[in-house]
């Protein structure tokens, strides 16, 4: 079974060459600088937050800041009539990031599919470790289930995110199913789960066992373990395998159709491969796209993969929204 078309290989090779030529440090090098106490946990988080804050993410001037169930959120509405609501969660390793980082992509989805987009500024570790982010995500989701028609004129919902955001999206769907029942999950037309972390007990690729192990990635085994220690402090491997922590161990029956996407050089590769196939085996509709030699968060790096990914994702949105 081919996981990608052969004509994509050249783009992966070119992307890896570009990343190395740009002198971006390899994940293992970054880890050696941060892992062995050269930076404290607080200093590492500060550096990560400052780096993301300094990144020139395009901002949407029409996005509105509000609070939903006392959780800060960033809301976009389409120019036309709202057809559905997309509940979105940003990435950042559970310790950094903000809803505004995804303005450009969320505006694209809003305008092209007439979606209202709610991006959640959930609480971050280490100040607020598990289950704070999950609680915030669930609080906004339950508010939407109760108020979407009154506030936005539709009962149709979608959910999704990137990296840590994909994790929170999957976790939120499972909490809805377990707390409110499958009928509440049925309100969600689909889940957009992009290069997520789904196993906090560490999948093989998280431990460094990747197809192209010398390829550049923004993650490394050391960085992943460090982020885990901040988000899940003092939690045993057995506890990290609890489905309320790691969705990959959950009962996945009666969930929504899902779109999964990941690069083959991402240290989170196995998280997507395993969850997508378990999602499908549980009887749910599932699409999965793998991009050869692409690192984690590959959509942030200039390459033909960005447009190819955008088309794949948009095709899936069209399908679940039943747009011809």
pLDDT per residue over 28-63, tens digit each? 444 333 443 466 778 878 888 888 887 878 888 889
pLDDT per residue over 213-263, tens digit each? 999 999 999 999 999 999 999 999 999 999 999 999 999 999 999 999 999
pLDDT at site 38: 60
Ranges of each domain in the chain? 6-319
140 pLDDT higher than 70: yes
189 pLDDT higher than 60: yes
pLDDT per residue over 62-103, tens digit each? 899 999 999 999 999 999 999 999 999 999 999 999 999 999
State the average pLDDT for the chain. Answer: 93
Tell me how far apart the alpha carbons of residues 174 and 244 are, in angstroms, rounded to a whole number.
Answer: 8
Share of the chain above pLDDT 90, in %: 84
Instruction: Judge whether 146 and 159 are in contact, CB under 8 Å.
Output: no
pTM of the model: 0.93
Q: If we measure between CA atoms, which residue out of 25, 169, 143, 49 comes closest to residue 97?
A: 49
- CATH number listed for the domain at residues 6-319: 3.40.50.1820
* Residue 1: band (very low, low, confident or very high) from pLDDT cuts 50, 70, 90: low
Tell me how far apart the alpha carbons of residues 158 and 172 are, in angstroms, rounded to a whole number.
Answer: 12
pLDDT at site 67: 98
Query: 232-270: string of b/e by CB count within 10 Å (b at 16+)?
Result: beebeeeebeeeebbbbbbebeebbbbbbbbbbbbbbbb
Instruction: Judge whether 186 and 157 are in contact, CB under 8 Å.
Output: no
pLDDT at site 28: 41
pLDDT per residue over 144-167, tens digit each? 999 999 999 999 999 999 999 999
Q: Hey, which residues does 259 pair with through a beta bridge?
A: 192, 287
pLDDT per residue over 71-82, tens digit each? 999 999 999 999
Q: Please state, as a whole number, how many other Cβ atoms lie within 10 Å of the Cβ of residue 176.
A: 23
């Amino acid at each position: 079974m081919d996981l990608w078309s052969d004509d994509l290989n050249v783009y992966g090779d070119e992307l890896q060459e570009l990343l190395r030529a740009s002198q971006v440090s390899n994940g293992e090098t970054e880890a050696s600088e941060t892992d062995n106490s050269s930076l404290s946990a607080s200093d590492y988080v500060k550096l990560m937050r400052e780096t993301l804050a300094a990144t020139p993410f395009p901002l949407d001037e029409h996005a509105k800041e509000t609070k939903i169930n006392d959780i800060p959120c960033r809301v976009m509405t389409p120019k036309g009539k709202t057809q559905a609501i997309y509940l979105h969660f940003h990435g950042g390793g559970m310790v950094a990031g903000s809803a505004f980082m995804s303005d450009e992509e969320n505006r694209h989805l809003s305008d092209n599919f007439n979606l209202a987009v709610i991006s959640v500024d959930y609480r971050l570790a280490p100040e607020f470790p598990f289950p704070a982010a999950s609680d915030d995500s669930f609080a906004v989701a339950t508010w939407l289930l109760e108020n979407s028609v009154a506030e936005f004129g539709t009962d149709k919902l979608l959910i999704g995110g990137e990296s840590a955001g994909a994790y929170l999206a999957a976790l939120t769907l499972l909490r809805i199913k377990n707390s409110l029942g499958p009928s509440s999950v049925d309100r969600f037309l689909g889940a957009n789960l992009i290069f997520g972390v789904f196993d906090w007990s560490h999948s093989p690729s998280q431990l460094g066992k990747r197809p192209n192990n010398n390829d550049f990635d923004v993650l490394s085994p050391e960085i992943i373990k460090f982020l885990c220690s901040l988000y899940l402090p003092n939690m045993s491997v057995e506890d990290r395998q609890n489905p309320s922590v790691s969705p990959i161990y959950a009962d996945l029956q009666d969930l929504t159709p899902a779109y999964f996407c990941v690069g083959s050089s991402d240290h989170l590769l196995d998280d997507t491969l395993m969850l997508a196939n378990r999602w499908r085996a549980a009887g749910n509709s599932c699409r999965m796209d793998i991009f050869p030699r692409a690192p984690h968060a590959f959509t942030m790096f200039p390459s033909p993969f960005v447009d190819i990914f955008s088309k794949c994702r948009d095709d899936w949105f069209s399908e679940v929204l039943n747009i011809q």
